[in-house]
């Protein structure tokens, strides 16, 4: 096996990164937990929409990998990411660079991604974004049920985002079905 113990330890950093670190929280959620739920929700969404197996595989790979750059750049809260468009654009570039480094270091090859149509790539990204947002909604729902009223605004925004993402996914699926 090519991986060294130190390389594997690096991956465990995801379980030490606390999400919502600038918010009052009753229960912590780490990035590794979040990534698990995003992957699980991605699988459920793909099955719900009868996504073809090769697209499902790509969506699952995207879900599993979506927060791995945080090993190096840390968990940057949503509101900080969205303070200004320049910072968000810079951060996306940084995350892309670190993801490339991660993939190369661990010898991870992304199935099909380079040969997929643009609509298929977009579909996978939207499905993972929906799963990511469902994870946010689930976490906030639990926090609210425990009495943390500070998560209501995040919960409400997530609900709105879910609605928008669902519409976008269904539109792309319709386009893909009409193309076939």
Distance separating alpha carbons of residues 19 and 70, to the nearest angstrom: 11
Instruction: Look at the chain and report how many structural domains it folds into.
Output: 1
Q: Looking at residue 1, what is its pLDDT? A: 55
Q: What is the pLDDT of residue 52?
A: 93
More confident residue, 63 or 4: 63
DSSP tag of 150: G
Q: By C-alpha distance, which of 70, 66, 53 is closest to 13?
A: 70
Residue that wins the pLDDT comparison between 111 and 177: 177
Mean pLDDT, the chain, integer: 90
The confidence score (pLDDT) of residue 3 equals: 61
Domain span including residue 122? 5-179
CATH code: domain of residue 18: 1.10.3210.10
> Could you identify the residue written with the tokens 């539109």?
171
Q: How much is the pLDDT for 113?
A: 66
Question: What is the pTM (predicted TM-score) of this model?
Answer: 0.91
Region 148-162: mean pLDDT is 95
The values of phi and psi at residue 25, to 5°, are -130, 145
Residue 70's Cα: distance from chain center in Å?
11
The alpha carbons of the chain give a radius of gyration, in whole angstroms, of 17
Task: Give the mean model confidence (pLDDT) for residues 151-155.
Answer: 94
- The predicted pLDDT at position 140 comes to 97
**Secondary structure of the chain: what % helix, strand, coil (to 5)?**
75, 0, 25
């Amino acid at each position: 096996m090519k991986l060294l113990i130190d390389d594997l330890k690096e991956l465990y950093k995801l379980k030490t990164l606390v999400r919502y670190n600038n918010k009052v929280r009753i229960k912590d959620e780490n990035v590794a937990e979040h990534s698990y739920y995003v992957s699980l929700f991605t699988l459920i969404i793909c099955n719900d929409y009868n996504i073809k197996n090769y697209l499902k595989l790509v969506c699952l790979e995207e879900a599993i990998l979506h927060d791995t750059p945080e090993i190096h750049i840390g968990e940057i809260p949503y509101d900080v990411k969205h303070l200004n468009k320049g910072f968000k654009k810079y951060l996306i570039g940084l995350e892309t660079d670190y993801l490339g480094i991660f993939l190369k270091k661990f010898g991870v090859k992304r199935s099909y991604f380079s040969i997929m149509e643009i609509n298929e790539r977009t579909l996978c990204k939207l499905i993972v974004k929906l799963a990511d947002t469902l994870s946010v909604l689930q976490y906030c729902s639990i926090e609210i049920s425990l009495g943390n009223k500070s998560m209501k605004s995040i919960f409400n925004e997530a609900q709105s985002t879910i609605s928008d993402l669902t519409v976008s996914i269904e539109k792309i699926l319709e386009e893909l079905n009409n193309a076939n």
